[in-house]
Amino acid sequence: MTVSGSTTQGGILLDVDYVVTPDQKAHTVLYLRSDGKRTRQIVDDFLPYFYVDCTEEQLQSIMADDQVLAEWFLYSEPTKRILYEGGQLQPLQKIYGKQPWKVPQIRARFASRQIAFYEADIPFTHRFMIDHQIKGLEHLDLTTMDSTQTTWSPRVCSLDIEINNDLQDTFEELVEQAAYRVTAIGMSWIADGKLSSKAFILEEDNDQAEINLLQSIFDFLWQEVDPDIIVTYNGDIFDFPYLVKRLEVQGIDTRILSPYGDTIPQPPQFGNGWKIPGVLIFDLYKRTRWMYTDDGRKTLDSVALKLLGEQKIELDISHGELWQQSLTNSERMKTFREYVIRDARLTVQLWEAMDMPQWLEVIKICGGPPGDAMYFTERQAGEFLVFQVMFREGILIPRAPTAAEKKLRKKERISAMGGFVFDPIRDIASSVLLCDFASMYPTIIVGHNIGGESFRGAVGTLKDRFNSEPRTSMAMMQEELLASRFEVKEQLEGAITDDDKKRLKAYSWAIKIVANSTFGAYNFIGSRFYDTDLAGTITGLGREYLQTIGMRVEEFADGYKTIYGDTDSVFIETPLNEKIQQLWEKDDDSITHIPEIGQLLGYLHEGLPPEMKLELEDIAYRIIFHKGAKKRYAYVSALDKQVYIKGFEAIRNDFSPFAREIQEFAFERLLRSGDVASTKKEVIELIKKMLERSEDQIKREVSTYGPIRRNPAKYKSMTPAVSAFLHLNSHNDGRLNWRDYDFFPFIIIKGTSSQKNRARHPDLVSFDEIDLDHYIEEGLRSIGRFNLPISLDEAKGIEYRDIVSYFEE
DNA sequence: ACGTGTAATTG
DNA sequence: CAATTACA
């Protein structure tokens, strides 16, 4: 390992990239933040390689008659690696070569000779991270190539451009020509916890002024702000492509967009975003999918309103016109400046509000190159950590499936069975222990040494399907994650400052994400680790353990009963009424020592692998089930006295807030009082009061959101939300685009025909049109389902318009 | 573009 | 019944 021309001992690894030398060799570029300064280092002796299953002699004779191969090839070495499937040690040739991008072409020459190859589909920069066992965004020592954990936090800066246009065109149309002047650029950045903003505004309407503006912006960005991360809102489809194009139009070298001034920005590839070597870039819009906003859209304003609570500033004219007026009117200039700064500030504030710092923790844990890992899915992050462990242990990373293989998998797949769910045996119960397995599937994987290396096949007893040697990569990875999560939890208990707590919580969250995401990969057709038999064995073990626990509860002592459970949880009814009553009456939420609980948990742990831990999650003073329906319950905690609702309509976003409030109130009253008759009265009182609210408030509360997932024409069965969109669109001459909405708000208006004919956008509904009966019934219907006699008929004593007339008839 | 299990509504 | 959704 040689770092050529190294001027530094090391630093925070911001990203990895590579350049090609004139003799067609790949040199790795490490981008670092070293003692606060930006620096890059070249590694000149890390080469692309992969493994082939043949002898040295074979390799030589192939090389002799294959010109393409010989040209790429540099040297080879005999080696041994463990095969992922079956875990056998295999002698192989490790072959090194020149250009990384030629690997697919080179491996094909072995495939055509029926020679097996391995790890020929790991991208070069990924290979670098894995082979050096290093982590991004952590401190990298260049002399030892070791990563160490730091508490470093990046400098984040937002970038937002304005152009002289009324934005009637689509982003694509604007970018196509880049015909309009850049009139302003806003930046907002956080350094040492302090937020600063700056607006650069074009003050004259001529080319030279625009050129000067564009140049000064990047001087300022790289000299003064010096960001590690540039964050935008829609920057991938607008700000970056527009800027690059506009720089070209004005004859400015696009390399000013690089902190080193010598590389050009790279457009998105494989679903990534724009890249500028040396700085990380992220478009926040990418993470707003399926976010609930008030108007159902995902503009910066809608998302900022939702997450930052900041109201939109309404402009009476377009951005372009505002800029034009600002050239001669200082008041307008002030407004324009405020507007530019505001958008930049909101964008940088969203970075935190959208929990992006937490995702940086995932990047650190998984060890992927930060520029790519920024765009990883949770599964990809989990898999990358497995790659890191596999390399360390000398196990070959399985090949990614081709498109054809994925298609075949989809066709032939027999999905693994999932978790087991108990039928609730009560409508209502008290003194119930809510227990669950901590990280159930990860602990099963560790406890049984599960993985492709040890799997003997889906035959025989579940517990006997895995060899104990070799230790699998998945089990090792999960074991390490469980240990570090345990460590973080201990640190968290000792943490004093809010900053430390926040950092540790983010880290703990990230570990959990990475651990949990890998199990699902076994059942995912796109994964390298796809194996439904293996997945089925894990879930099968889970079902076995859960059912055993369920039975053991009742063997423990009289009065203990399993009344419900789902996948990794058991709800245990106990005879501890007096002690739990005492807990309930205590003001704080600490657990008074109840020896029976400890004894029960001890009893339940007998026979479990040591890694598996059944934990007491909460104690329900009272709990309600809808008998016969799984995954639905509500309880009040004897510890923190809060009401928790799971699965019911009261927490479902496809029910109106109006109906949800009715159900939530009913649960709240019933759980606390335990009295059906008084609850019933109180619910009726509540509905009366709700109907006395202002028309505006009621209208807001009956507005419900439904998703628009595809082109409305492609729906076989029209949902109210889609039909409300079509209705609104017909009032806008068909100009609306369904893609602008993730969730579309609608209100059902009075009438007798089907809902799809009565769904309207709230703006097109007057209060008198609202079908209030529909919404009251929605609320009452869900209460009626408690199996507790609060029926619809009884509740019809409510006095209000239509129901009054119903009684008069 | 991690997984399965489940309940509910609409037409 | 199928289609659709959102939850655990």
Chain B: positions less than 7 Å from a protein CB are: 1-11
Stated length of chain A: 809
Q: Is strand B within 7 Å of residue A323 (CB)?
A: no
CA distances to A7, A409, A416, A567, A569 from A536, rounded to whole Å, are 53, 16, 4, 13, 19
Residue A452: strand, helix, or coil: coil
Rounded to whole angstroms, the distance from the CA of residue A123 to the C1' of nucleotide C4 is 39
Q: Which nucleotide is nearest to A648 (CA to C1')?
A: C7
First to last CA, chain A: 91
Q: What six digits make up the tokens of A364?
A: 């650190």
Chain C: positions less than 7 Å from a protein CB are: 2-8
Closest of A744, A725, A746 to residue A734, by C-alpha: A725
Residue A385's H or E segment, with its range, is helix A378-393
Q: What six digits make up the tokens of A9?
A: 């001992």
Cβ atoms < 10 Å from Cβ of A195: 11
Strand boundaries in A554-678, DSSP class E: 561-565, 569-573, 614-625, 633-637, 643-646
Residue lying closest to nucleotide C8, CA to C1':
A631
Residue A627 has a pLDDT of: 81
Unique residue bearing structure tokens 């025989």: A460
Rounded to whole angstroms, the distance from the CA of residue A716 to the C1' of nucleotide C2 is 10
Q: Are A482 and A443 in contact (CB under 8 A)?
A: yes
Q: What six digits make up the tokens of A293?
A: 């906003």
Rounded to whole angstroms, the distance from the CA of residue A183 to the C1' of nucleotide B6 is 54
In this structure, the strands spanning A229-232 and A280-283 are: parallel
Q: What DSSP designation does A648 have?
A: S
CA pair distance A764, A762, nearest whole angstrom: 5
Q: Is strand B within 7 Å of residue A305 (CB)?
A: no
Residue lying closest to nucleotide B3, CA to C1':
A520
Rounded to whole angstroms, the distance from the CA of residue A631 to the C1' of nucleotide C8 is 6
Rounded to whole angstroms, the distance from the CA of residue A235 to the C1' of nucleotide B1 is 23
Unique residue bearing structure tokens 């222990």: A433
Residues 6+ apart with CB under 8 A from A124: A18, A26, A28, A48, A100
Q: Are A798 and A688 in contact (CB under 8 A)?
A: yes
Q: What DSSP designation does A1 have?
A: -
CA pair distance A259, A29, nearest whole angstrom: 14
CA pair distance A13, A397, nearest whole angstrom: 24
| Helix boundaries (H) for A200-249 | 207-220, 239-249
Residue lying closest to nucleotide B8, CA to C1':
A649
- Helix, strand, coil content of chain A in percent (nearest 5): 45, 20, 35
CA pair distance A29, A419, nearest whole angstrom: 46
Rounded to whole angstroms, the distance from the CA of residue A526 to the C1' of nucleotide B1 is 9
Q: Which nucleotide is nearest to A716 (CA to C1')?
A: C3
| pTM, 2 dp | 0.93
Rounded to whole angstroms, the distance from the CA of residue A457 to the C1' of nucleotide C1 is 39
Q: What six digits make up the tokens of A710?
A: 């595809």
Bridge partners of residue A43, in order along the sequence: A3, A28
Q: Are A274 and A375 in contact (CB under 8 A)?
A: no
Rounded to whole angstroms, the distance from the CA of residue A691 to the C1' of nucleotide B2 is 45
Residue A603 has a pLDDT of: 97
Rounded to whole angstroms, the distance from the CA of residue A618 to the C1' of nucleotide C3 is 38
Residue A334 has a pLDDT of: 95
Q: Which nucleotide is nearest to A418 (CA to C1')?
A: B4
Q: Which nucleotide is nearest to A631 (CA to C1')?
A: C8
Q: Is strand B within 7 Å of residue A755 (CB)?
A: yes
Rounded to whole angstroms, the distance from the CA of residue A571 to the C1' of nucleotide B5 is 18
Closest of A564, A555, A543 to residue A620, by C-alpha: A564
CA pair distance A762, A744, nearest whole angstrom: 10
Rounded to whole angstroms, the distance from the CA of residue A517 to the C1' of nucleotide B3 is 9
Instruction: Count Cβ atoms within 10 A of the Cβ of residue A390 and give its class: 0-12 exposed, 13-18 middle, 19 or more buried.
Output: buried
Rounded to whole angstroms, the distance from the CA of residue A685 to the C1' of nucleotide B5 is 38
Strand boundaries in A574-700, DSSP class E: 614-625, 633-637, 643-646
Q: Is strand B within 7 Å of residue A418 (CB)?
A: yes
CA distances to A11, A151, A192, A357 from A148, rounded to whole Å, are 10, 10, 22, 19
Q: What six digits make up the tokens of A380?
A: 């990809």
Strand boundaries in A21-129, DSSP class E: 26-34, 37-43, 49-52, 73-82, 89-97, 117-118
Rounded to whole angstroms, the distance from the CA of residue A414 to the C1' of nucleotide C7 is 24
Q: Is strand B within 7 Å of residue A9 (CB)?
A: no
Q: Which nucleotide is nearest to A647 (CA to C1')?
A: C7
Instruction: Count Cβ atoms within 10 A of the Cβ of residue A607 and give its class: 0-12 exposed, 13-18 middle, 19 or more buried.
Output: exposed
Divide the 809 residues of chain A into consecutive groups of 10 and give the mean pLDDT of each group.
Answer: 70 95 92 93 95 95 93 96 95 96 95 96 97 97 94 94 85 91 96 92 96 94 96 96 96 95 90 92 90 85 93 86 94 95 97 94 96 93 97 97 92 89 92 95 96 94 94 96 93 92 92 90 93 94 96 96 95 96 87 90 95 95 90 94 93 92 92 87 88 93 92 90 93 89 91 90 93 88 65 51 36
Q: What six digits make up the tokens of A744?
A: 């579309």
Residue A6 has a pLDDT of: 62
Q: Is strand B within 7 Å of residue A524 (CB)?
A: yes
Closest of A608, A620, A678 to residue A645, by C-alpha: A620
Residues 570-629 of chain A in contact with strand B via CB under 7 angstroms: 626, 628-629
Q: Which nucleotide is nearest to A413 (CA to C1')?
A: B3
Closest of A52, A25, A48, A47 to residue A108, by C-alpha: A52
Q: What six digits make up the tokens of A760?
A: 């309207």
- CA-based radius of gyration for chain A: 31
Q: Is strand B within 7 Å of residue A525 (CB)?
A: yes
For the residues of A744-763, what is the DSSP string, one character each? Answer: EEEEEBSSSS-HHHHEE-GG
Residue A297 has a pLDDT of: 84
Residues 6+ apart with CB under 8 A from A746: A703, A704, A705, A706, A720, A721, A723, A724, A759, A760, A761, A762
Q: Which nucleotide is nearest to A423 (CA to C1')?
A: B6
Q: Which nucleotide is nearest to A290 (CA to C1')?
A: C6
Q: Are A554 and A623 in contact (CB under 8 A)?
A: no
Residues 778-797 of chain A in contact with strand B via CB under 7 angstroms: 781-782, 785
Residue lying closest to nucleotide B4, CA to C1':
A418
Bridge partners of residue A27, in order along the sequence: A19
State the helix-helix crossing angle for A532-556 and A595-605, rounded to 10 degrees.
140
Q: Which nucleotide is nearest to A653 (CA to C1')?
A: C6
Q: Which nucleotide is nearest to A535 (CA to C1')?
A: B3
Rounded to whole angstroms, the distance from the CA of residue A424 to the C1' of nucleotide B2 is 29
Rounded to whole angstroms, the distance from the CA of residue A773 to the C1' of nucleotide C6 is 24
Closest of A670, A654, A645, A380 to residue A524, by C-alpha: A380
Closest of A396, A400, A538 to residue A475, by C-alpha: A538
Q: Which residues touch strand C (CB under 7 A)?
A: A 566-567, 631, 646-647, 651-654, 705-707, 709, 715-717, 719, 743
